[in-house]
Every structure is written in C-alpha cells, then in structure tokens.
Chains A and B, each alone.
Chain A
C-alpha cells in the first residue's frame, strides 16, 4: 500500500508528458522535415502532370489535324502525286493488313508451339531457359535490325522488296510477346484441371488441345492482339523490306505478295518530309487512322484478358 502511495503517478505531482514538445509532433509546414516531404510530394505530382502533357498534345493534334481530312475518300483512293489535290491511302491500309496477316501467320504457330513446350517444362529445364532467353533478346531487339535481317535474307534472296519480306521482319518483333504471354496463360490454367485430364488417361497432346488451350485461350488471344498492335505501328523494318507503292496490292484480280507494298506507317514517314500541304494533311490523317487501329487492337486484347479463368 505504502509503495503505491509513493508512486509518482499516484501522487499526482508527476506529469509524464512534461518533457514532450507537442508542437514538434504536429504536422506543420514550419518544420523543415514536413516541409521537405510536402515539397517533394508536390514536385512528383508536378512531374506526373508534365509527363501527361505530351500524351494530351499528341492525341489533340491527331484529332485536330488528322480529323480535318477524315472521310470515305481516304479509304478508297490512292495517294496523290505532288501538287495534286485530294487522294487517300486506301492501298496503304490494305497493305498494312496484308503485311500484318503474313506476320501473324508466321509468328503465331512458332510462338504458340514453343509456348506449349515451355509451359510443360519444369524450372530446371535447360532448353526452356535458353528459349526464354532467346525470347527476351528478341523483346529488346531493335526493330530496325529485324528489317536488316529480313533484307539480308528475303529481299536479297528473292531479288526485290515485297510484302513477304515486310511480314517476316514484323513477325520477328511479334514473336516474343506471343510466346511469353501464351506461356503465362497456359501456366495459369489451374493444376487440378490438368491433373483431372491426366487422371482420365488422356495423352499429353489431348490434355493440351482439350483442356489447356481452350482454358488459356483468352490469355493467348490477348498476347496475339498485343503483338499485332505493336506490329501494326512498326515503321523502321518496313522501310527497306516492303518499301512503298502507289498502287493497290490487288491488281487485275490477283494478289501479288512479291511486289513492294504500301503501309500506313511508311506513308506517314514519306509524306511527313514533303513540302506539300496536301501530303502533310494526309500524313496526319494516316497517323490518326494508325493510332485508332493500334488502340482498338490493344483494347480488344485487354478486354479479352479479363475473361481468363483464374
């Protein structure tokens, strides 16, 4: 009893918060530490806003300058000669679609089958490591070098610029995206589904075709769409593989894939350097169409990824 009576807290004479400087605990801008924190937060916010300005500017310019010429003539007519008025870039849109189709036809089988192999391997598999490493190298591969390769093989072998050469160059750039996303998608399929299939006595091939691929399909399609979105916008590898053409790819009812082929991206590049108002307007309109094409493909791909069964 006695000891409690003498306890400083009980006596009431002791203030435990006597030495605490309460003003130092307040969040006030007068304290250098708080001020620094708030200042840095403001700086980071400012830099984020600055980083968004180019995006707003690009989109604004595309809508403003590209939107002026938007009309059906763009899609049905051929590029105009210098000093000619009117015209469009119908052949470039068709050409872009042809080149991207060729590239997809090459890269999807190669990427998908490699991904199926990768998804079946364990983490210690050396070949799988090598394949993933190769895919990573291709991810950071400069697009112009894909063009150089396609020039060195297809163009020099066949003796001319062609849609095929352009497709080969683009397919190299699409391959890693398709392969790595498809592997991820197949690995995301719940193990119990795979085990159930194996338990039923299916062969590995049947497991892949009847269980893994149907379940992973949304994820695989997302990868393909993202790869296409990237491929559509590539310009550098097309400059000296598909070159450019002022005519339709479809001539007299037959499609010649071994001819120089127009594409939207190369059209923008060529026209942007011309001193003629008409060509510049067309370049901006083509840029708007190209960005819309890329964004739609991207959005379709992303909306598919939400359907993946988790």
Chain B
C-alpha cells in the first residue's frame, strides 16, 4: 500500500532527470538506429572473415598461372633465373626450414630457461634474501621490491619483442657478424670436416641469421611457457615437495610435464613466426640460392626472396612470386593452426578435476 503511495507521488518517478531521457520506450528513430548498428556490427564481423578468405583467394588466383606453367618442378628445382625464365624454390624452402628449425632449437633452450627462471621467482627470492641481510624484508616500503624487480625483468624480456625486426637486422649486420666471424673462421679451420662447419663465413650467412632470429622468437616462447608453467596447480608442486623432492626434481618430473603441452603450443607458434620473419633474414642470410648444411654458408629464404624480388618485379614475374608466396602461406598457416589448436586444448586441461 505504502509502496504504491510513494510511486504515485510524482509522474516523473524517483530520478526525473534520468528517467526523462533514457527510461522512455525507444522512439522509432532509436529503434532504426539500433537495428542498423546491430546489423553493422554483424556485417563487420562477417567482413573480417571474408577479409581472410579474400587474402588467401587473392594470392591463390594470382599464383594460378605460374602453378599451371611450372607445376611441381617449381618446388624441386634449384635455379632461380628471371632472365632465362627459370624459376624454382627448393633452396629457399630449405633455407626457410633450416634457419627456422635451428633458431627454434636455440630459442626454445633459452626461452624455456627464462620462463622457468621467471615462474620459479628466482629473482624475487634473490632480492628478498638481499633485503633480509638488511632486515628489511617485511619493511613497509621495501617489502614489495621483489615483486617489482620480477615485473621489471618480465617487461625487459617483452621489450625484446617490441624492437622492430629491421633494427635487429641492422644490429646483426654491424654487431653479430663482426663478432662471430673470427670464431667461425677458427671453427672452420679446426673442424672443417664436420658438415656444419664446411664453409667459411664471408659476411652474411645462416649462423648470424639464426642467432638474431632466435632472439626474436624468444619473447613468444617465454611468454607462453611462463603462462603454462604458472597455471600448473600449486597442489602438484606442494605434493612433490612434501614427498621430499628437490626443486629441480619437482620441475623436471612434475611441473614441466604438466605444462608440456602449453610450452609445445608456444614453440609451434614461435616456429610459425620464424618461418614468416623477413627483414632480419633478408639482411643477414646472404640471399644466395645454396643448399648446404654448413652454418656459415650464405642461403636464402622464401620471405627474403619475396622481399628482394617484388620491388622490381616485371609483370610476368608477379605470378611466379605469388606462387612462392602461396608456398610460404601454406607452410605458415599449417604451423599456426597446429599451434593454436594445441594451445586451445591445454587451457581447459586443469580446470575442474584437480
């Protein structure tokens, strides 16, 4: 009774200034605007799918004439000579896979190490111990220092990802190559019978390219591995400690196996990134169509071939280059889809059961 009395006290309701504007039933205009906007959002969502389809179709249709002309021979031959209309990309495919695989091995070793270092909180522990010497570990002002330092390190590693690849290329050209050249020369002299050291490094080559490439994929591996490591339920770690395992017995026997799938997904995504990376390789790999196991020999990659050939491509070359782009697209799409599927499966693994 009293409620209805209060409500009746004014036609405007409790909040006249608000209700006058917004709580009125929508006018025809507002309904039309609403319908249009929702349709627009729906349309743009479709548009972004169509964009991806269109990108793929555009490259495929542009490559079709070359696929018809050159066929499988394009993938198996070793000569690229636009002047004689001879095109084949086996050396580039070899260079792409070889450099990416080597970079992946190097990048994974360092990336997972850094991820363990971050997820185990080594640095925070170290800072905590230093504070303890000065009896400041629970001090009001200093006690959050370990967390701050940990965050700083994580941001520094992420900073590696923010540096543009062309800057890495420049750095590789003027810092890495002069630095590794004497070492490579020595290795070639002493262990030249090994296929990996079979040639001398005369400037650009696979080794400097791989080193720079591994630095570029390290942040990806670290970020995803760290996420996988810290999402391992703390119970598992505590149980292992309770059984008397040391820190590294716990890491190797419990934590890494539990996080393995997430780490693997990150590694596959990093592989996709390495395959498609262009600038650092175009600047450092030497751009010579050679198939060699040697780490010091110049090579070429698909992305570098595209970057070097497209700017002065004649109309008849375009289709051939599109064919090469299509091969690169196929390889990277495959690797990326595998990586995302693995990552998608891991995220739901520990929910519920444990």
Interface residues of A (CB under 8 A from B): 33-34, 36-37, 40-41, 43-45, 47-48, 50-52, 54-55, 57-58, 61-62, 65, 109-111, 113-114, 116-118, 120, 127-128, 130-131, 134-138, 140-149, 151-153, 156, 172, 175, 179, 200-206, 208, 210, 229, 232-236, 239-240, 243, 265, 268-269, 272-273, 280, 283-284, 287, 290-291, 294-295, 298
Contacts and interface: CB of A to CB of B under 8 A. Distances in A.
B288 to A, nearest CB: 15
Q: How big is the B interface, by class?
A: 35 or more
13 contacts: A40-B251, A48-B113, A50-B110, A51-B111, A117-B44, A131-B48, A135-B48, A152-B322, A201-B24, A205-B37, A235-B278, A269-B283, A283-B170
Given A57-B171, A137-B52, 12 more contacts: A51-B218, A61-B171, A114-B41, A134-B49, A142-B303, A142-B329, A142-B332, A172-B55, A205-B33, A240-B307, A240-B311, A294-B163
Given A48-B113, A179-B48, A206-B34, A268 B276 contact: no
B117 A117 contact: no
Interface in B270-324: 272-273, 275-279, 282-283, 303, 306-307, 310-311, 313, 318, 321-322
B248 interface: yes
B345 interface: no
B307 A239 contact: yes
A268 B170 contact: yes
Instruction: Say whether chain B's binding surface is mostly helix, strand, loop, or mixed.
Output: helix
Contacts of A243: 311
A156 B318 contact: yes
A133 B270 CA distance: 18
B340 A272 contact: no
A175 B282 CA distance: 25
Given A61-B175, A233-B166, A36 B246 contact: yes
Contact of B38 (A43, A140, A147, A204): A204
Contacts of B278: 142-144, 235-236
Nearest to A130: B49
Contacts of A33: 246, 249
Interface of B: 18, 22-26, 30-31, 33-34, 37-38, 40-42, 44-49, 51-52, 55, 58-59, 62, 109-111, 113-114, 116-117, 120, 122, 153, 156-157, 159-160, 162-171, 173-175, 215, 218, 246-249, 251, 269, 272-273, 275-279, 282-283, 303, 306-307, 310-311, 313, 318, 321-322, 325, 328-329, 332-333, 335-337, 339-340
